[in-house]
Amino acid sequence: MKNKTILITGGASGIGLAMTTRFAEEGGNVYFIDFDQQAGEKVAQELKEKGLKVSFLQGDVSKTGEMKKTIASIPGSLDVLINNAGVSHVGNLENTSEGDFDRLYQVNVKGIYNCSLAALPKMKEKGGSVVNMASVASTMGIPDRFAYSMTKGAVFAMTLSMARDYVAYNIRVNSIAPGRVHTPFVDGFLAKNYPGQEKEMFDKLAATQPIGRMGKPEEIAAMALYLCSDEASFLTGGNFPIDGGFVNLKM
């Protein structure tokens, strides 16, 4: 990533933070967008104190005009775009409100449209790599994830379409499909829904993956780093599971 310009959305927490950190550690000039200004400023300060090249851009990925303006402010061309920003929801169709459905679509689907629409013109001259954050829910049925699965299925389809449309510009587009990853969202979900039973439920969720544990944000970041590197120059239009065997080894 040395001397490359990287844009990561949702880069101030969880998987996004691991990506921001790893790409900067590899020598990249990293711009990261996050809705949470306080968290973004804190991350930027901490990483800059380590001598890393990072810049925080506060913004809402669901806003088309805002993303055009924000991404246009990045000087020069872009080498890497990682569409990581996303939100989740637990529920089947009947207990997913219209507001929940619209919120997930606006961030998880339209957010990728908005950021890619603004970023791809900055990549077309030199080429580059796009990674979209999909999920195991993109390609299999998971209980009580109706709206979330809808959005992640769309991410998978958008990845294929973008890869086909921009291969002539030497822009590679792939997606990553994580299983359960231990992030602050998981801890918050358990605290809210299973007070006093957090450890028991955490172990139960971890055990649903054949490898016997949840993934680490750093492991997802490592996959993204490889897909965006020159070593992966023959890969485009792929959806890469990193799920502890969740999809292919289920009993």
Which residue numbers are catalytic? 148
| Token pair for 194 | 């299973």
Pseudo-torsion of CA 239, 72, 171, 19, nearest 10°?
-40
What's the maximum distance between 2 C-alpha atoms anywhere in the chain? 55
Q: What's at 152, amino acid-wise?
A: K
CB 29 within 8 A of CB 52: no
**DSSP annotation string for 102-114:** HHHIIIIIHHHHH
> For residue 161, what are the CA distances in angstroms to 120, 133, 166?
14, 15, 9
User: CA–CA distance from 160 to each of 63, 89, 140 (Å)?
Assistant: 23, 25, 17
- Assign 3-class secondary structure to 11-62: CCCHHHHHHHHHHHHCCCEEEEEECCHHHHHHHHHHHHHCCCCEEEEECCCC
Please answer whether residues 135 and 180 qualify as being in contact, where contact means their C-beta atoms are separated by less than 8 angstroms.
Answer: no
The residue type of 205 is L
DSSP element (H, E) containing 248: none
The type of residue at 173 is V
